[in-house]
Amino acid sequence: MNQAKVPVWVNIALIPLLNITLAFVISGLVIYAIGQNPIEAAGYMIYGAFGYSEGIGYTLYYATNFIFTGLAVCVAFKAGLFNIGGEGQAYIGGLGVGLVCLALDHTMPFIVIAPLAIIGAAVFGAAWAYVPAYLQARRGSHIVITTIMFNFIASSLMVYLMVNWLKGTQNMSLNSRTFEHSAWMPYLHTLLSPLGIDIGDSPVNLSFFWALLCCFGVWLLVWHTRWGYQLRTLGTNPTAAKYAGIDTAKVTIWVMMVSGALAGFVGLNEIMGVNHSLLLNFAAGYGFTGIAVALMGRNHPIGIFLAAILFGALYQGGAEVSFDMPQITPDIVVVVQGLVILFSGALEHMFKDRIEGFFIRRAAAAQEK
């Protein structure tokens, strides 16, 4: 009821803008404090993230990962589950992609490999989420603990597999052999260059569109199917879910598997899209950042998409800043990221309540006249 009186642009533009601005002002102070020029840094950052096509490509490439992990957190969250295991699920999802590619790249064309790789990512990611989900649903083991543990186990498993089974023979490097081209997710720039469009060499690839499709899919699934209805009921009122005859254990398990599958798609972008070989540590914190992405995006696909772009820009812009201003170390960029999460995520109400109150009062006053 309250929201109705507040103009839409206030909520979707003004308030987020204020929050981000404040985050950047504080970041500027930090940068200033270590003797660097914050304005210059901001310039590099914005230019690096959005200023030219290649930079945009990188931003989108990072955003792809964040969309996947953000959606993964979101789906589970909607069912009242806190999936902190996106990291491990992404890692194992990548393993699935890698195995499909390694098995088929010599014999099959891309058209065959791509859907199988998607299935591989989904199945492996889902499988890694299945055990915690099962234990939560049937044994009451707290999902936060089990998913934390599964993140660690995923790392050990991957090192074991890479070192003992999957490592390429050529050198010390812990990569599998490089896939044949048939198992490469096409880059957008290779797709566009025949059309005469040059967008520079960036790693953004077809996975980005798959991520967009997933956004849409999650939106449909969660808000427009009965399955989504069930999971949202479970998430907001478990007693009502029982009353409604919803099999809560089953929904819990399936939700977590969908969540794991979504996280697993990170492997698509990283393994098939960019690295073209199986390797260690490609999940690189995307799973954890996905938590912030999902919550900042208000657990809605559109919000998640926007938050993912923001984080993609921070990653890419951050790399550019430290490239051009070596004194701005990657660690400062991490601080900036944290401040953005703090001010536009955790402190989102700081301005919101006041500004909304202002508009509501104005609307009410107008009504009375």
42-61 binders of another protein (CB under 8 A):
58, 61
Between 45 and 295, name the residue whose CB sits nearer to another protein. 295
Count, in order, helices (H) and strands (E) of the chain: 17, 0
242 binds another protein (CB under 8 A): yes
- Token pair 């993912």 is at which residue? 308
139 binds another protein (CB under 8 A): yes
Site map (CB under 8 A) of another protein, residues 318-337, x = contact: xx--xx--x--xxxxxxxxx
Give 154's contacts (C-beta < 8 A, 6+ positions apart). 87, 88, 89, 91, 92, 128
Question: Could you say which residues in the range 197-226 bind another protein, by CB under 8 A?
Answer: 201, 203, 220, 224-226
Instruction: Tell me which of 275, 305, 310, 321 binds another protein, using CB under 8 A.
Output: 275
For residue 48, give the nearest of 306, 351, 325, 356 by alpha carbon. 325
Question: Could you say which residues in the range 9-48 bind another protein, by CB under 8 A?
Answer: 30, 34
In the bound complex, what is the minimum distance in angstroms from residue 205's beta carbon to another protein? Answer: 12
Instruction: Tell me which of 170, 194, 195, 369 binds another protein, using CB under 8 A.
Output: 170
Instruction: Tell me which of 141, 180, 182, 192 binds another protein, using CB under 8 A.
Output: 141
Biggest CA–CA distance in the chain, Å, is 81
- Token pair 């996905």 is at which residue? 290
- Applying CB under 8 A, the span of 173-181, 182-190, 191-199, 252-260 interacting with another protein comes to 173-181
121 and 268 Cβ atoms separated by less than 8 Å? yes
- Applying CB under 8 A, the span of 102-110, 115-123, 230-238, 256-264 interacting with another protein comes to 230-238
127 binds another protein (CB under 8 A): no
Count Cα neighbours of 98 within 13 Å in the Cβ-side half-sphere.
Answer: 30
175 binds another protein (CB under 8 A): yes
345 binds another protein (CB under 8 A): yes
Give 131's contacts (C-beta < 8 A, 6+ positions apart). 146, 150
Q: Binding residues for another protein, how many (CB under 8 A)?
A: 106
Cα distance between residue 66 and residue 60, in whole Å: 10
Question: Could you say which residues in the range 97-116 bind another protein, by CB under 8 A?
Answer: none
Q: Report CA-CA distances (Å) from 68 to 92, 152, 158.
A: 14, 20, 20
